[in-house]
Structure 1
Amino acid sequence: MKGLNPIGLDIKKSKKLADKLNLLLANYSLFYQNTRGYHWNIKGEKFFELHLKFEELYNDLLLKIDEVAERILTLGHTPNHRYSDYKSISEIQESKMVSDGVKAVGDILKSFKSIIALQRELLSMSEDAGDEGTNALMSDYIREQEKAVWMYSAFLNQ
């Protein structure tokens, strides 16, 4: 059918989705690397607890990076892969070396706020495009990350 990509979605709408997914990919990639840094450099009385939580988080982010890139490919487009591209478009900034657990958790919460807002935009866009695959992915991510926000916020007594 003319005007549709191989999975039956409007070509123009799928391009907009792929572009927004590339923005999400950039944000996830910076979030991932920041979290690796928190894991490596954390110090203090909560070291053992946070060291494990940060490892759990960056492993989850790595899976999501791969899923987002594969979704872009499924839509018929190319995922960005250069950190220089990620840095130029990401809303999440590179963190400096952070060894304080409270600061690291605060940064993680800010990153989740950006990521969740972007995923909500994608949820709306994918619904409009009839893209159930992207829609389901974003819905699952949002549900999971809202719980993580609650847990990290509880750690900070917020």
Structure 2
Amino acid sequence: MKTNILGLPVKETEIIISELNSLLSNYQVYYQNLRGIHWNIRGKRFFDLHVKFEELYNDSQLKIDMIAERVLTLGGTPLHTFEDYIKHNKIEVGKNISNDEKAVHLIVNSLSHLLILEREILNKAALVNDEGSNAMMSDFIAEQEKTIWMMQAWLEE
């Protein structure tokens, strides 16, 4: 079995790179959704949600950079055009959302989809001892599960 400089199998690593690029694309759309709802949110909960959405998009921006750097570490090239992001995106694009509940539902649905992608990467990375990708996905998953729980608690009021 041919391995790369990190000691990981080349063929399986190429698959992980591809899936990380798909995750990167979906994260970029999620990030832009967060920017949009941050800018457009209206209503009595404006102050709380405006701050929360900013917190989430700042966190997403960091994760986007981490994903791109992992792609590079594994020997790939991160996707970096809007064309690529749209081509690989599977999450809903939120356009002109100003309602608080619609905004929070968009976040929950987006995170649920990101979790699916992250678990796929986690499983494939574990099979080839790609601990770097595995640890990153594990951290993302734990944080996003908690965010979903908190958002659902908010929706139930």
TM-score bracket for this pair, using the shorter chain length: over 0.9
What code does the residue aligned with 1:33 have? Q
TM-score, scaled to structure 1: 0.97
TM-score, scaled to structure 2: 0.98
- d(CA) in 1 for partners of 2:7, 2:152: 41
Counterpart of 2:79?
A: 80
In structure 1, stretches of 5+ residues that fail to align are none
Deviation, 1:105, is: 0.3
Counterpart of 2:44?
A: 45
Counterpart of 2:110?
A: 111
- 4+ residue runs of structure 1 moved beyond 2 angstroms? none
Residue range with higher mean Cα deviation, 2-11 or 123-132: 2-11
Q: CA RMSD in A?
A: 1.0
1:127-152 deviations in Å (ceiling 9; x for gaps): 01110000000000000110000000
Is the CA contact (8 Å cut-off) linking 2:92 and 2:106 kept in structure 1? no
SS at structure 1 position matched to 2:156: coil
Deviation, 1:48, is: 0.3
Counterpart of 2:145?
A: 146
Residue range with higher mean Cα deviation, 138-147 or 87-96: 87-96
Deviation, 1:88, is: 1.2
In structure 2, stretches of 5+ residues that fail to align are none
Aligned residues: 157
Counterpart of 1:19?
A: 18
Counterpart of 1:95?
A: 94
Percent identity, aligned pairs only, is: 49
